[in-house]
Structure 1
C-alpha cells in the first residue's frame, strides 16, 4: 500500500510539495496525498500580491497549477495533531490518518503594538488591513481609489512594494517606518536613503525613524514624534511570524519556527516542516526559493526517489518588485574583505560589491539592472569575479570575464536564470529544443517566471536569442 502523507497548508510551498511528489510518483503508487488548506482560495503565488495590488495582474492570474491525484480540502483548517494516533483533526470534524505528516503552515502577519489596530473582538479595526493574502488585497483595493489617503506601516520589502503599488493607482501614500532607513535587513543606510529618494520621486511620502502610535478612523494615524498622518485607511506590513501553534500544541520543538534538520524532519521523525513555518540553520526566512527547494528534497525522501537527498540551505537573494525601481540584494555585504561602493543618488543609483578571496559574498544593486544577473550568477556559482570590479558592478564586465545581461548568448549554461525555481540557462535551452518555443511553454516546462517574476526579461531574452540561433523547424506539410 502507498504511504499516507497528509499536508497541512496549501500555500505556495504546500502546493509545490504536492506537485513535486506527483512528478516523482504520478500514479500514487508510493504516496497517497491529502492536503488541508485553511484558505478557501486555490493555491496562489503570494510573491505576486504586490503586483496584484499595483494593478499589474488580476487575482485569478496568480493561481498556481493544481497537482493531479491529490485529495484536496480547501477552506478547511487543521485544528489539532494527535501524534500518538498519527491523526490530524480538522475544523469540519474530520480525522485524517497519516504515515507521514508535512507541516506547511507558513506564517501570519504581525501587528505592532499600535493602539486602535485591533477591535475588542481581536479582529482588525475598521480601515485597517494587513498585507499577507488575497483577501487582504481585496480589502486594500476596496479603498484604494485615486485620491484616497493610505498610510503604510512598515518599510521592509512588503511595505515598500505595497506603498509603490498604491502610489501607482493614484493613492496618496505615506510610508511610516520606525527604523532609520528602509529595508534594513537587506540594505545598508546609503542604499536605504537612495531607495527612499526613488520612492519620493514616485509619489510616496517616506517617514523613517518614525513609529506608528495610534490609529483612529476619524482622524488618521498618530505617530510617536507627535505628528499625525491624515489617512482614510492603514495597511500594516510590519513583518510576519511563523505559524507554529499546531506544532507547539502537539509538543514539537519550536523556536522562531518549527525546528527541522537536513531531512526537514522535526524531533518526531514522522512529522516534517517546510517553508516559512520551518526553522533550518541555513535557510533565510521569507524566501520562496528556500521553501520550494525544501519541498523538492522532502518529495525525494518521502517517495523514495532519492533517499540520500538533504537540504543544506539557500543563499539569500532579494528582488524588489516595484515598478520604476530595480533593486537586488545578495548575501551580506559585511562579510567581505574587499568592498567597492558607488553612489549616485540624483539618478537613483547605488551599489555595493563585497568580495572575499575574489568571490562575491554580498552585493546591493539599486538602479543597476545590468549588473544584477551577472553578480547574482557569480554569487550562486562561487566563480571568481573579474578583475575590473567597477565594470562588474556597473554591468559592463568584459566579454569572457562575466556574461553581460544584455547578451543572453554570453551567459554560461550553468547560470541560474530563475532563482525561485533553480532554472538554469541550460534547462531553458533543453526545453526550447524539446519544443517549448514561447514564453508560456517555457514557463510551463521549466517553471521559470512562475516565482517572483523578476526573471521574465532574462527568459524572454534567452527565448529571442534561441529564436535567432536555433529557429524552430516548421513541420512538413
Structure 2
C-alpha cells in the first residue's frame, strides 16, 4: 500500500523553471517558490556564445539571483490537489502555478544519433552544453555546426574565435532564413567565410559516422563526408510541454495560454519558450521577459494583458582573437518581416565602401520589417517605429527611412 506524502509547504506561487522567464518573475512576485532543474544560478542564455568564445566567464552572464531549489526536476503536477512533485521526493502545494519549463534542442533524425549522444556531439542550448563544448575545443580541432539559424551562426563564430576549423551546414537556401533576406544573408556568409568558417547551404545532413562511440565525420545526403572531431547540433528548439500534457492542460505546439498567460487550468500559467499565445511560440528572450512582466501584474491583481511581442534580433561577429577595439566586426539587426508580400514597398541601400546594407519593407503606411548590417545608426528609431506600430509620416520619402535618424 502506497502512503500518500503530505506537502512540505504551501506557496502562493510556485514557478517550475529557473531560466530567464522564471528568474524575472521571481524578482517581481512575493512569496514565490522557484524549482529549477539546472544546478546553475539563472543566466542570460543570449550570451552563451560569448562564454563559448571565452569572451565572458560564466558568472558574468548570471542574472540577479532568486531563491530557487536548484537541481530538482519536477516529475508530476497534480492539478486536482494543486501539488507539485519533485524527483527529490518533495511535494509542494501551490495557490498559483507557473510553468516556465523552456524548450529542448531539436535532435535531428540522423543515422548514428541515438538516445545517447556519441562522444564529440554537442547540443548548444544550456550553460552545461556551452561549458562542455568550450572544454572540448582546441586550436585546429575540426568542428561541424549543423544548422544555420541565429544559434548556429553564433556557435560557428565562437568556435572559429577559439581557433577551430569550422564548417557550417545549413539545409535552407541561406543563413538565418527567419530573420534575413537573401542579400543580407549573402553578406553574412561572406563575413563568416572571412573569419575562416566554411559555409554550405542547401545541403542536407544524412548521418554521423561514429567509431568506438565517438563521432568521426558528418555525412551529407550526397554521401560527401565532412571530417569532424566535434559536431554541434543547432537545429532549433522545441517547447517542453511534457508536464503540461501529463496534467491534462491544452497543448498545441506549446502550452496554450490566453492574454493573462493562463492555461486551460485557471490556477496554472505558462511563460517563456514553452508558452503558445495566439498560435505563436516566440522562443525569444525578449518575449519571455515581457510575458513574465505581464504575469507579475496579473498575479498582483492588477489589470494586465499580453498582446504579443515584437522583438529585435541582434548579432555581432568579430575576427578570431579580436579584443573588439581594433576590429569592429559585423553588427547585424533584424526585425519583423524581411520578405515582402505583393504590394509592399521595399527600400534598400547598400554601401560597399563602408560594408553597410540596409533594407526595410513598408506595408501600407507602416513598417513591416527590416534588416541592417554593418551600420546600425538608424536601427533604434526604425525598431521603435515598428514595435509601436506607428504610421509613417505621409509626406516622408521612403528613402529617408534609411538615414541615420530613421527619417524622423
Both proteins in one fold, TM over 0.5:
yes
Three-state SS of the structure 1 residue aligned to 2:358 is strand
Three-state SS of the structure 1 residue aligned to 2:113 is coil
Three-state SS of the structure 2 residue aligned to 1:98 is strand
The answer on 1:101 being equivalent to 2:102 is: no
The answer on 1:368 being equivalent to 2:375 is: yes
The answer on 1:11 being equivalent to 2:19 is: yes
Which of 184, 190, 193 aligns to 2:186? It is: 193
Structure 1 range deviating more: 79-88 or 314-323: 314-323
Q: What is the CA–CA distance in structure 1 between the aligned matches of 2:140 and 2:128, rounded to whole Å?
A: 22
How far does the alpha carbon of each residue in 1:161-186 deviate from its partner, in whole angstroms, 9 at most, with x for none? 00011111111100001111111111
Deviation at 1:344, TM superposition (A): 5.2
Q: What is the CA–CA distance in structure 1 between the aligned matches of 2:206 and 2:20, rounded to whole Å?
A: 34
Partner of 1:159: 152
The answer on 1:134 being equivalent to 2:143 is: no
Q: What is the CA–CA distance in structure 2 between the aligned matches of 1:355 and 1:390, rounded to whole Å?
A: 11
Q: What is the CA–CA distance in structure 1 between the aligned matches of 2:145 and 2:172, rounded to whole Å?
A: 14
Q: What is the CA–CA distance in structure 2 between the aligned matches of 1:347 and 1:191, rounded to whole Å?
A: 15
How far does the alpha carbon of each residue in 1:23-61 deviate from its partner, in whole angstroms, 9 at most, with x for none? xxxxxxxxx211110001111111110111122211111
Q: What is the CA–CA distance in structure 1 between the aligned matches of 2:207 and 2:72, rounded to whole Å?
A: 35
Structure 1 range deviating more: 3-12 or 218-227: 218-227
Contact 2:101 2:274 (8 Å CA) reproduced: yes
User: How do residues 158-307 of structure 1 correspond to structure 2 at under 5 angstroms?
Assistant: 158-216=151-209, 217=214, 219-281=216-278, 285-304=282-301, 306=302
Partner of 2:361: 354
User: How do residues 37-52 of structure 1 correspond to structure 2 at under 5 angstroms?
Assistant: 37-52=36-51
Q: What is the CA–CA distance in structure 2 between the aligned matches of 1:193 and 1:85, rounded to whole Å?
A: 55
Deviation at 1:377, TM superposition (A): 2.1
How far does the alpha carbon of each residue in 1:319-347 deviate from its partner, in whole angstroms, 9 at most, with x for none? 12433221111111325722112345786
User: How do residues 314-333 of structure 1 correspond to structure 2 at under 5 angstroms?
Assistant: 314-323=309-318, 324-333=329-338
Three-state SS of the structure 2 residue aligned to 1:166 is helix
How far does the alpha carbon of each residue in 1:351-370 deviate from its partner, in whole angstroms, 9 at most, with x for none? 22111343222101122322
- Superposition CA RMSD, Å: 2.0
How far does the alpha carbon of each residue in 1:13-32 deviate from its partner, in whole angstroms, 9 at most, with x for none? 0010101214xxxxxxxxx2
Equivalent residue pairs, number: 382
Structure 1: runs of 5+ lacking an equivalent? 23-31, 403-477
Contact 1:163 1:175 (8 Å CA) reproduced: yes
Structure 1 range deviating more: 253-262 or 221-230: 221-230
- Give TM-score scaled by structure 2 length: 0.89
Residues 218 and 14 (structure 1), Cα distance of their counterparts in 2 relative to 1, 3 Å cut: closer
Q: What is the CA–CA distance in structure 1 between the aligned matches of 2:350 and 2:221, rounded to whole Å?
A: 31
Q: What is the CA–CA distance in structure 2 between the aligned matches of 1:127 and 1:274, rounded to whole Å?
A: 33
Q: Higher relative contact order by CA 8 Å / sep ≥ 6: 1 or 2?
A: 2
Residues 348 and 197 (structure 1), Cα distance of their counterparts in 2 relative to 1, 3 Å cut: farther
The answer on 1:89 being equivalent to 2:85 is: yes
Q: What is the CA–CA distance in structure 1 between the aligned matches of 2:386 and 2:59, rounded to whole Å?
A: 35
- Give TM-score scaled by structure 1 length: 0.76
Residues 126 and 385 (structure 1), Cα distance of their counterparts in 2 relative to 1, 3 Å cut: same
Deviation at 1:316, TM superposition (A): 3.1
How far does the alpha carbon of each residue in 1:78-108 deviate from its partner, in whole angstroms, 9 at most, with x for none? 0001011110000001101011100000001
The answer on 1:390 being equivalent to 2:395 is: no
